[in-house]
Every structure is written in structure tokens, then in C-alpha cells.
Structure 1
Amino acid sequence: MGIVIASLFLISCNSSKPGNNADQDTDKLPGLTTVNHPEWSKNATIYEVNIRQFTEEGTFDAFSAHIPRLKEMGIDILWLMPVHPIGEKNRKGTLGSYYAVKDYKGLNPEFGDADDFSALVQTAHENGMKVILDWVANHTAWDHAWIDEHPEWYTKDEDGNLVSPFDWSDVADLNYDEPGLHKAMIDALEYWVREFDIDGYRCDVAGMVPVEFWDTARMALDNIKPVFMLAEAEDAPLIVSAFDMEYGWEFHHIMNHVAKGDLDADSIQAYFDRQMRRFPRGAYKMNFTSNHDENSWNGTVWERMGDGAYAFAVLSSTVPGMPLVYTGQEAGLDKRLEFFEKDQVEWKEHPFFDLYKALFELKHENKALWNGEFGGSFIRLESSDQSNIYAFVREKEDDKVVAIFNLSDQEGEYEVSGKYLAGEYTVFMSDETVSLSDKETMTLTPWEYRVYYK
């Protein structure tokens, strides 16, 4: 088990190119992030939109019809996977990867035109939601205009040939040693905020791009309007002054391993203990049970988490961090969506919709569950079986949440205790009230969760 934990920690931290952010001395980082989070983000939730697979049409217009439903579910931020034209040279599959960008200021014609995109953003804003775009700053498609116009902006091997990062053969790696690249990329980032009033970016493999670039880009964007920035990374220097939120990759992998029985509840607490010691504080973590990478390449929540899928959805929505829902999860998505081909989500009624709706209503209203420093304390409760039972209390001002999880496939009678447990509570997804003492005995079925709040 120790080997599994160590491996997860190394994977989550080792995402940068040599010489970039990974080389910075994290002991010298400030105690608190200097990012000024947008006020609206303090209790926000986020949803990843796969335009291609969302509807039969696979267009901005067709997706826009779903925005009121997502608002009803409690979604605040719509993260759109890349909307740019996809490269044709070295393309993977029939339709290609969204992350092989051919033109940073263009729109994928399969999705619609500028008017369609503007209407999507306007509809989201009218519903009180924000829109952030997926941005691929580390590499471009092989037929991007910069390949011919500015070959010096690309990474080359010892023979002077342009190279791909890893085995991503459909893209060419950019070289941020070139100041001209910084200027051109920031200009493109500014374009979407100025012209379409988007609200920020989710930045692909952000740790592979120098933090100095992101710091400058954030300042430039904030000069236009306050933006929200999400880094696909767990890289402390990025959240000092550039990004509001980073991925909770390590937590996600731990949940997958707990579901398989490779790790236990103590490994979850060990993760949060590490986070408490990590600087800078105040940045948000994004918690998730799925996303486009996990679904397409590693499996659905049912494949990875099995009968624990509901418990982990609740866990990831109640521990510190902002919960993410990926396209189709609320409909019980039970297939791996093709990444380079058309593969529409099958929309149907599913218990996940009502569960997420209730979780996000609680998050919006109960300050104990708010994001970052806006949220409440986080204290683990004692139990008679710490390896299988994960129970905690979160509290902020007059708001309080108690959550208890049986993270095993075994039914049992357990004792949960702690001085912060006692109180009068409402039972989650019920009008029932309950009085808890500082020591409670309860029988929990496999993967059962109980949430109480006031």
C-alpha cells in the first residue's frame, strides 16, 4: 500500500518540462495564494462540456438548449473542451483530437460559427453561469500557421526537427524560450475575453508551460475583466498568482484505488494531511470522479469505482474543493466516449441528477462547504474502523456538515465519535431531523454514506 501511495504522489507532482515549474523551490512560496478569486467562485461548481458528444448535432446551438437543465442541477461554471479548428495533418482518427489546435482565434466549423458561440455564452450568462474555454498553450497542430511563419517558436531535436511531446504525434511542442511566442499566445487569450466575454480558461497541461508566462497572462486578462483560471496540474508555483484552481489528480487516483480495495480510508486522510502542509493555501482544488481523460482512456465511474460511485460523488462534493461533473455523468454515463470519433451521450433519467442537484444546493447554501478559504474547517472523526470508515465534520460560522462513509464492500456496525459530532441536524435529501451525541453506533451497508447538516 505504501508503494501505491508513493507512486500516486510522484505522478501527481511530476508534470512539468525540465527547467520549468517543477524546478522551483516550493519552500519559498508564500503562505497564501495572491490570486484574487472572483467573488462568484466562492461556492461554485463546474461542469465539463464535450460539445462533440453532447448532442446528435454536436453544435453550440444544440448544447445551448441544455443550459437551463444544468443550471437547475446547480452548475455555475461551464468548461468547454477546446472549440478551435482541429488540425488535419497527422490527425488521429476521423475527427481528430480537440487538443490539436490549428487556429487559436478560430472556431471549429463542426460546432458552429461566431454568432452561435456568442449566443451560447449569452445564454449561460443569462442563466447566471460562467463560461471558461479549454486552452492548449503547450503545443499546436502540425498545420498551424506558426509552423511556417515562426518555426523558431517550436521545440526542435538535435537535428533541427520539430518534435511532439510524449507520443502525441498529432501536435508539435512549443518553445517558451521565445518571447514572441509569449506575446502571440497572450494576444490570443485576450481575444476571447474581449470579443466574446468569456470568463476564463482551463489550461491544458499547464505545468508544461513556464509559470512566468501564466503570471503575465493572468495579469493581462484581469486587466480586461476578473477571470477564473483552472490549471490541469498539481504544481504549487502555478497557484501563487496565476491560477485560481488546480486539479485534484492525486485525490482522484486515491479514490479509484480505495474503490478497488488497494488503499483504504486512512490514505484519504493522509492526502488531506499533506494538503494542509502544502503552500500556498487559499487556492481551490478541483475534485472529480471523472473527466474526459479518465472516461475515454481509463474507464467510466462504474468501471473504476463500481458500487462506490455514489459514495465517491458525495465524498468529492463535501471535502474541501470544487466538484466537477463531466458530460453525461448526471445521466449515469456508462460507456467510454470515443475521443477521435463521434460518440453521442445517451441521455436518460438517472439518480445521479437528483443527487448532484441536492449536493450542489447544499454547497451553495452551507458555508462549511464553500471553496478555499471561504469554506469551513475540516476535521476527521474517530471511528471503530478507521481503515474503512471515513467520517468528518466541516464548520463555518453557524453552518455545519457531518459526513460519514463506509468505504468498503462489507456491512458492519461501527462507532463514530468526536466532540464536534454532537448536535441537531437535518438529514441530507430528507426533511428528517436527527440529534447526534458525541458518540454514535450505526450499521452501515457497503458503500453507504450519511450526510447531516445545519
Structure 2
Amino acid sequence: MKKVVLLLVVFSFLISCKDEPKKDNLEETKEDALSLAPVDNEMLESAVIYEANIRQYSPEGTFDAFTKDIQQLKELGVKVIWLMPMYPISEKNRKVTGGRDVEDIEDPEERKKYLGSYYSISDYSAVNPEHGNMEDFDELVQTAHENGMYVILDWVANHTGWDHQWITDHKDWYTQNEKGEIVDPINDETGESWGWTDVADLNFDNQEMRKAMIDEMLFWVEEHDIDGFRADAAHSVPTDFWETAAEEIRKVKPVFMLAEADNPKDLFHNAFEMGYNWEGHHLMNSIAKGEKSAKDWDDYMKKVDSTFQDDDYLMNFVTNHDENSWAGTVRERMGDASEAMLAMSYTLPGMPLIYSGQEYDMDKRLLFFEKDTIPKTKGKVYPLLEKLGELKNTNPALNGGKKAASYANVNTSAEDKIIAYKREKNGETLYYVANMTSEPVSFKAEIEGDFTEYMSGSEMSFSKDKEMQFGPWEYKILINK
């Protein structure tokens, strides 16, 4: 009799479960994402950021193809994924390789291969069908969250594509010339066009447009659980817009905000956590070419120390989508100095960036307006990034956020040739020492003690009176034993 009763109870339970309405995918995504703590400064201290170019990441160019590899990014110490714009792209005035407009191409089949600029957006609240659908996007975000990574979207506030519905419905939301014609973005200093003829300049004097823009940003946070934004051309948009947007978004949940800007101090404190280290990056390129010296780097770091407040920090990089497509590959720009510069980008205050394909020794310029594909064979750089990522994730001496480890220049007898600095926090000490020339250098450095050279695992002793010899572009990362 007990068995019969038990069977009836189980049967009733199964029937009741069957009758319960199923949750939709979005609700499940939101519930699963709750297991990931909100963005906070502690996590950002040790984070590596990955710039994902969905179009070029795989032969398919889809969300799904990238999602399959998200778990692998943990091997590189990635904690933040920045998605390049994945919104629908305008067809009107679409740019093609070589600076032409798509209208200049008569052959309709030839036209099809030109997909346009990621930054010419026709709809802020949709995904580009090139990449898949919104469910595919949600799966990407959910997978990232399940693997302890945060997702930020590239937000293009300065302009829209010419197909955007706002142009039809709200012409006054755009900048116009004397004839009342909507114009592409203008250089405020020269009064001339930047040449970005595939986009229409937005008018931030219009308060209705500002509100609509913030509503579009909130859509992705509230409905799709994204964790922040990278602000394209942040310096071209009024700072008070970013401050208001950040304030409204943070009423929903904490987010991480990255500004494509490296100068205006007021961009940081009320809107953004991190900016771009553009000046430092360009200096790295110049040092690699022999145009600047190690002494120039020391002077630059003194400038950073006096310009920015203690809780400001910058994103360090040897490549990104702009540099790769327009200025050249890492190898083109940095040559034999590439590895030393990459290691330096991880040991500086701030957050290091990996751009899609960099981990696979990519030595080609990715096409910008057409379909292309990154390599997928692990060579020299992948294990290097694994090792550097582990160090960044685990050693407090490389904390780079609002409570960054200290940074101090180390004097050497060859200040024009040797970059040397010390990072310290919570009892951990790290030195970066590098010969930033194409010739061997003998030098003495004000470093005392016994260390483990992190990259090789070998033991090294330094003293102020000991002369060291480094080969061309040789570097050491020294950690206290």
C-alpha cells in the first residue's frame, strides 16, 4: 500500500511540473547570470580585456563561432570581453576598401562583398544578421558570465549610419549645415570633414536625442544583461552626456565604462573607469623604430603621474582594431621589439588588451570593410599571453585599477637605453627591466636582491655595483622570492 501511495505522489508531482509554464530563454539567461557577481573594482585590478571582432574572428563570422571559444579565453586570463559593434550596418554611403563609396561600384556582385564599417550603425537595438540573431547574442553573454567574464559593448554615440530611422523621424537630432542638410562629423579645430562620409553627425545640443540615446544603452543592460560600454570617440561627445548616461545605467546595476580618450581628466571621475593609453602606445611604436628612447618613456610616465589622479587608469596595448587595419601589424610597427613591448603592456599600471588574432601571432592587416578571418594556429604568442595573463591575474604587484600597485622608475647607468621600473603592493615586488635598443647594452641598475625571472623561471641576483649585459630588446620580469 505504501508503494502505491508513493507512486501516486510521484505521478502527481510529474503532472504538476508538466503543467508549469516554461521560462523563456531570456529569463533563464538572467537567472543564470546572477551567479556572476556585478562588476567591481577588485576584479578590474587584475583583469585582462579581450577585443572581439566577431566578423573576422571566424570563417563564419558569427556569435556562435566566438561563443565556442569563450572558455578558452580563460587560459589567457581574460576577465572582460569587449565586443566591437555588432549592430546592423547602414547601406547608404557605405565605405569600401580604398576609400571609395559602394555607389562607385557598378557590378552588383562586387558590391555584395563590401559589408561596411562596424561604426556605421543603422539600429542601436538590434544585432547584425551577419552574426546571428538575438538569441545567439544572449547565449554569448550567458556563456561569458558562466565562465566568469564580463561583456561590454562598443557604443558609437557620436554618429549614426545614414539608414538610421532617426534621420527620417528626427532630422533635428543631427548636425546640419547652412542649407539645413545633415552633415558627416566635422573636425572642430579645422571646420572640415573628418572624411567619415558613411556616417551622420549627431547634435548633442538636442536633449531629446540624448534621452533616446541613453534609453538605447539601457535596453542592452536591462534586457540583455551586458556589463558596460566602450565609448567610441568619447572625446567627441560632451562629457556631461557620458556622466548622465553612466548615472542612469548604474541605477540598474554596476557597469564598467571604457573611454576611447586619453587626455580629458573629467572623463574619468563621474563616467569612466578606464581610458586609452594612446600616447604611451605611440611612444612604444617610436621606441621600437629607434625614433625615441628609454628616457622618453621615463619622462612620459612622470607626465602621467602629474596629469591623472590616483584612481584613473589606462588600457595598455600593442595592437587593436584601428592600429591593425590602418597603422600595421605588431610586427610591422614594432619588429624585434614586439615581445618586450607586449610584456611591458602587462607590467605597467592599467589593464592589458588582447585584440582578436593577436594570440595567434597574426601578421596581417585585417580588412576593415570586407570579410576576412584571423589565423587560429597557436604559435609563440599564445603561451606568452597565457603566462603573462596568469601573472596579471594573481600577483598584486600588477594590480592596475583604482587601487593600483605603486610604480617607481629605477635608475640605471644607461637611461637612454634601459627601461626599468618597480611595482609593489601587499608585500609583493616586481621589476621590469628591458633593453629598448637593437644593440647589446651593458649597464648597472639600482636593484638589490635575489629574484626569480618569471618568464624563464631562472634565479637572478642583482646589486647596484653589478654590471648586467642585455642583448637587443632583451627583457626580464623579476619577482621577489
Could you state the TM-score of these two structures normalised by the residue count of structure 2? 0.85
Alignment of 1:52-451 (within 5 A): 52-93=55-96, 94-165=114-185, 166-234=194-262, 235-417=264-446, 421-451=447-477
Alignment correspondent of 2:15: none
Please, which runs of 5 or more residues in structure 1 have no aligned partner? 1-35
The one-letter code matched in structure 2 to 1:202 is: R
- C-alpha distance in 2 between matches for 1:439 and 1:183: 63
SS of the residue 2:445 aligns to:
strand
SS at match of 2:344: helix
**What pairs with 1:21-40 in structure 2 (closer than 5 Å)?**
38-40=41-43
CA positional deviation for 1:37: 5.2
User: C-alpha displacement at 1:110, in angstroms?
Assistant: 0.5
Q: Deviations over 1:31-87 (max 9, x none)?
A: xxxxx9543212111010000000010000001111111111111110000010000
Residues 394 and 39 of structure 1: is their aligned pair in 2 closer, same or farther, counting only changes over 3 Å? closer
The residue matched to 2:204 in structure 1 has which SS? coil
Q: How much has 1:422 moved relative to structure 2?
A: 1.9
Aligned partners of 1:439 and 1:159: how far apart in 2? 73
Partner amino acid, structure 2, of 1:206? A
- 2:43 aligned counterpart, secondary structure: helix
Give the fraction of aligned pairs with identical amino acids, expressed as a percent.
Answer: 48
Answer whether contact 2:41 2:401 (CA < 8 A) is retained: no
- CA deviations 1:117-139 (Å, max 9, x no partner) are 00000111111111000010000
For 1:384-443, what per-residue CA distance to the aligned partner results, in whole angstroms no more than 9, with x for missing partners? 2110100111111211101100000001222112xxx22332211233333333443211
Worse-superposed segment, 55-64 or 356-365: 356-365
Kindly indicate whether the alpha-carbon contact (under 8 Å) linking 1:240 and 1:280 is maintained by their aligned counterparts in 2: no
**SS of the residue 2:78 aligns to:** coil
Which entry has the higher C-alpha Rg, 1 or 2? 2
SS at match of 1:172: strand
Distance 2:335 2:159 in 1: 36
Give the Å deviation of 1:281: 2.8
Q: Do 2:117 and 2:368's aligned partners in 1 also have CA atoms closer than 8 Å?
A: yes
Q: Is the 8 A contact 1:37 1:244 kept in 2?
A: no
The aligned length equals 416
Amino acid in the other structure paired with 2:298: Q
Contact residue 410 and residue 445 of structure 2 kept, 8 A: yes
Aligned residue identity for 2:240: E
Q: Does the 8 Å contact 1:239/1:280 carry over to 2?
A: no
Q: Aligned partners of 2:343 and 2:388: how far apart in 1?
A: 7
DSSP 3-state at the match of 1:267: helix
Query: Is contact 2:348-2:400 (8 Å) kept?
Result: no
Helix, strand or coil at the partner of 1:431: coil
Contact 1:38/1:228, CA 8 A, preserved across alignment: no
Structure 2 residue ranges without an equivalent (≥5): 1-38, 97-113, 186-193
Per-residue CA deviation, residues 111-166 of structure 1 (Å, 9 max, x unaligned), is 01011000000111111111000010000000100001011010011221111111
* Paired residue type of 2:302: D
In structure 2, distance between residues paired with 1:207 and 1:41: 23
Indicate the RMSD between aligned Cα atoms, in angstroms. Answer: 1.2
SS at match of 1:230: strand
**2:444–2:464 contact (8 Å) kept in structure 1:** no
Counterpart contact for 2:452–2:460, Cα < 8 Å:
yes
Report the Cα distance in structure 2 between the residues aligned to 1:67 and 1:439, rounded to whole angstroms.
48
CA shift, 1:243, in A, is: 0.3
